[in-house]
Structure 1
Amino acid sequence: MKRIEIEKLDRNLISLIHNDWAVLTVPDEGKVNGMTVNWVQMGWLWNKAVVTVYVRPQRHTYPLIERENCFSLAFFDNDQREKLAYLGKASGKDVDKLAHVGYTTTLLDGAPCIDQARLVLVLKKLATMEISDAEFIDKTVENASYPNRDYHKAYTCEILAAYLNEA
């Protein structure tokens, strides 16, 4: 992987998030846990390049991301959809999901990163926000996204480094 400046990324961010999907990668007691995420925001906040990811408390990844300050977000080519779907459905408490789909990891800047990813962002947690009923102005969004009221927690993270896989 080649380290790049995030400002030089020549990909459409909406397409990157919505179409290419992403995997949140966090240390997990001697192994690495990966969870597919599709609710992601990228931008500029607090004079930093940031990413906000959303994780529900019932996910195995939740206590891991609560504990860790550094982790990564990996983006893949479309031919990886089947593997990414598995990473979003299976629980990391029951199986080593990354090994199951044939992914390997490398530690980059203190965070586990998936070697097979097209783009990896190394992240440092800056702030969290509990989403609740009180935050919704448009209740149709809340009702469509949270019919069971199982709200996500938002993690706003600084992008410490970006790596592009040129293989």
Structure 2
Amino acid sequence: MRSIDPKNIDKNVFSAIGDQWMLITAGTAEQCNTMTASWGGLGVIWGAPAATCYIRPQRYTKEFVDREEYFTLAFFGEESRKALQLCGSKSGRDIDKVKECGFTVRTAECGAPYFEEAELVLVCRKRFAQPMDPDNMPQEIKTKWYPQEDYHTLYIGEIVEVLVKD
């Protein structure tokens, strides 16, 4: 994979995140966990390119993102759809998702894990994390998305490296 400037990302982020999904990964090359996500965004905050992602409290990956300084967001081609479905429906507490999916773990310059099979990887330095406050949400959002009251934590990561498949 080669590094590019974040301004040269040529994906439609609405489609890439909402339709094609992404993997949120954190940990080390030796022990990492990943999960599929379809909520997130890209933009600029505090003078730097940034990504947002959202993780529910019961997700195993949350422990890794909370513990580490860096996490990655990886985007794949349609050929990886089954692997992303598995990563979104099974817990890393119960199975080795990386092995099950046949992914090859690589590390960014900062040591954050990502998968060689990805088409695009955003390496993010965690800059902010905060649980979503239900008191600041409309009731219809709480009713539709949070019947179990398992409100996401919002993460903002400064994009420190962008890797693309050659």
**TM-score, length basis structure 1:** 0.94
- Correspondence list, 1:3-152, <5 A: 3-27=3-27, 30-109=30-109, 110-136=111-137, 138-152=138-152
Q: Secondary structure at 2:86's aligned position in 1?
A: helix
Deviation at 1:28, TM superposition (A): 6.0
Once the 2 structures are TM-superposed, how far is the Cα of residue 29 of structure 1 from its aligned partner?
A: 8.9
Identity in percent: 33
What is the number of equivalent residue pairs in this alignment? Answer: 165
Contact 1:26 1:72 in 2 (8 A): yes
**Segments of 4+ in structure 1 off by > 6 A?**
none
Over aligned residues, Cα RMSD in angstroms? 1.3
Residues of 2 paired with 1:157 and 1:22: CA distance?
Answer: 15
Whole-angstrom CA distance in 2 between matches of 1:89 and 1:28: 22
Listed as ranges, the gaps of 5+ residues in structure 2 are: none
SS of structure 2 residue aligned to 1:10? coil
Q: Distance in 1 between matches of 2:142 and 2:44?
A: 25
Matched AA of 1:7: K
Structure 1 residue 142: Cα displacement: 2.0
Deviation, structure 1 residue 2: 0.9
CA contact (8 A) 2:28 2:112 kept: no
C-alpha distance in structure 2 between counterparts of 1:154 and 1:133, whole Å: 13
Asked whether the 8 Å contact 1:28–1:64 carries over to 2, the reply is no
